């Protein structure tokens, strides 16, 4: 390699070092900026009201739902939701149920469910199928 190649590499390295020094001193340190922010906040120069989270308005609806929970009679609902036979389905030896579970009556929201019950003697170990769609 020639002297011009070595000279240009030395020039580029010097330029890179100089640029990094200038950037480091001109922008300051992050801790200095944080300290200035803390001091300004302590002196009341910064309006911090927008930093607060308004939890009351966001959770009022949830509090209303949980405080007004109602339990209705479940008598006869299981037999009402029982499916005797689905169209095109052969005779099956298990019980199946389908219906709607109301989630938010005010907004008209409900889950559709389909439930298949195990009927063998090992029903406690057989998996069940519960499908919710909402």
* 50 vs 83 pLDDT, higher one: 83
Q: What does pTM read for this prediction?
A: 0.41
- Residue spans of the domains in the chain: they are 3-51, 70-133
* 29 vs 85 pLDDT, higher one: 85
pLDDT value of position 91: 86
Contacts of 117 (CB under 8 A, 6+ apart): 94, 95, 96, 97, 123, 128
* 25 vs 66 pLDDT, higher one: 66
- 74-126 pLDDT, tens digit per residue, is 788 888 999 888 888 888 888 888 988 887 777 888 888 888 877 766 666 76
Please list the residues that pair with 104 across neighbouring strands: 109
């Amino acid at each position: 390699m020639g002297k011009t190649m070595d000279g240009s590499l030395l020039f580029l390295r010097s330029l890179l070092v100089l640029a990094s020094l200038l950037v480091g001193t001109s922008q300051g340190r992050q801790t200095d900026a944080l300290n200035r922010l803390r001091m300004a906040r302590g002196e009341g120069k910064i309006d911090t009201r927008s930093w607060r989270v308004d939890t009351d308005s966001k959770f009022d609806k949830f509090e209303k739902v949980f405080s007004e929970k109602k339990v209705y009679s479940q008598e006869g609902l299981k037999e009402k939701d029982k499916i005797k036979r689905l169209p095109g389905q052969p005779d099956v030896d298990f019980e199946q149920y389908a219906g709607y579970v109301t989630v938010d009556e005010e907004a008209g929201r409900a889950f559709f469910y389909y439930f298949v019950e195990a009927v063998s003697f090992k029903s406690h170990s057989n998996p069940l199928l519960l499908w919710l769609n909402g």
